[in-house]
Structure 1
Amino acid sequence: MIALLCLCLAAGLGLVWSWAHARRFSLERRLAPRLRGSSTVSVARGPFARMVAPVIADASRLVARLGAPTEELERRLARAGSATAVARHRAQALAGAAAGLAAGLAVGLLLGVARGTGPVVALVVAACGAVLGGLAPDVLLSRRAAARGGRMRHELPAAAEMLALAVVAGESVPAALDRVATLSPGPLGDELRTALAEIRAGRTVASALDRFAARAGEPVVTSFTDALVTAIERGTPLAEVLHAQATDVRDRGRQVLLEEGGKREIAMLVPVVLLILPVTVLFALYPGLIALRLGL
């Protein structure tokens, strides 16, 4: 109970300090709405929202300072194919930390009531819950990015073959990319459609492919786009380059599967060594130990 009262007092003092800090004169804050124009004037909010907004802003800046840089976070969001802005992702991390803190406090209080633990245990559980809640959006984002990258690696060989067939049939590179993007419903097709939109907007094919590789963040895709850009700039036959890239991607996929199989084979030894082998040794030695103990 004392720990809960201390937390409430600290939260109240933080709100008062943030309100006083937000009331300070700032020329940038006064001029920002007029510089942005009349169409983006902020809507009036309630007193509680005005009081909590500085706290959220300060907490977001703290998360930005302690977390990943903005450029790195933008690359991870692009690799995961997420349309979420960096500020919104950090706000989600902040909300997750707050939810984890509340859940940790609830668990700590329940432990205190049921087991009679002290306030230190409640604070430790609350801190662990806040850390886990704050890290949850980043973990989910990394898993989405890894899954999306795996799908792109799986789709790339077939897309390279289709692109080679379209080029051999006499289509230009943008037309071939458009055909492949239409026939690819996965994340690779989405990225190709984005690259085509950039090409239609006036960007060169090489620049659009480079940006496509940067968004994908996969070494296989980067190698494929580099070879395609080099072939376009030097006038190398595209069909041969694309067939070679498709073969290379398949070879890399087989190598990745072999490496994954080797890791799984090693992981399979863990239950054998830690569970099955000790039980087998116990069953083999137990009758002899009993016989020695009984003197038989």
Structure 2
Amino acid sequence: MIETPNFDNETMEKAAHLRKQISVPADLNSPFFVAKFIRGQNGNVEMARKRIEHYLLHRELLGYDKMTEDELYNVHPIGKPTFERFVISRMDETLTSNNVHVIVQKLKGTNLNEIMKVIPLSHVIHSYFMFQDMFGRVVAKTENRTGKPSSVVCILDLDGVNLADFLNPLSAPVKLARLVVKIWADYFSEHLCKLILINPPGLVSLMWKISKYVMDAETAAKLCFLDSVEDLKKYLHPNVIPVEFGGDWIDSSGFADPPESCCKSYIPVEKGHYRTQEQVWSDNGVLKPSPMKTSTIKSHQKLDIEL
């Protein structure tokens, strides 16, 4: 059974010292919030501080720090058009397996190449921060209630995935996967403790080769490929496994369709949803945009554009 590992005394001492230097929002604050970042940065306190500051600034600037989970899914101007394209479950804070929470995502019918035609790639990246923020809030409540470290396990259903999309290292799905994995590794490696992949469309050995395209060895160590959904019970208690996968979890809140899947249905991409560059400009009041230019900047560099 999956459990969240405890923190050693050295990490907790470093966390206590760093905690005095930063202000952690109440909905994320727990005895282990800072310690997660320190362990995620292999004990580097200064890098942990920078990651925390970047993350808290991001949630403040994009305004999801003051929104509920339902508002992120249904109201936020970036979250709503992104999350409605993916098949995902809610974070049910009442359900845990050994202090571990579970989120489910199904990829069947999710065409990343088509999604990129209707929303910017940046929307997906920003929404992944929001996704992890939901994890952090639920985990903080559990840690404050139990006094023990908590984390999240993601069950990722690969049924329907086109392997060809991931064999090309320059494809949109691979680029997106790399970016998402980097955010996971840099900011939330201790939030999402395990990624369980079920219904792989090919040989597990091939899936491992593909994973090397998109992630480092340390992150890959958190992957777990299962040949059968029945094996989920070796890692998680039945109460956090959807009925569709042989467990007892049913989401009757009205969010999931069907309830036995615990996942909401998605809005498929149709050609009528495509957005051209001209439409984006005109929607923002620019009828004759300037000629397109391309610039390349590195991380933390600054580019000034005069209009």
* Shared fold per TM-score greater than 0.5: no
Higher RCO, 1 vs 2 (CA within 8 Å, ≥6 residues apart): 2
Structure number with greater Rg is 1
Give the structure-2-normalised TM-score: 0.25
Higher strand share: 2
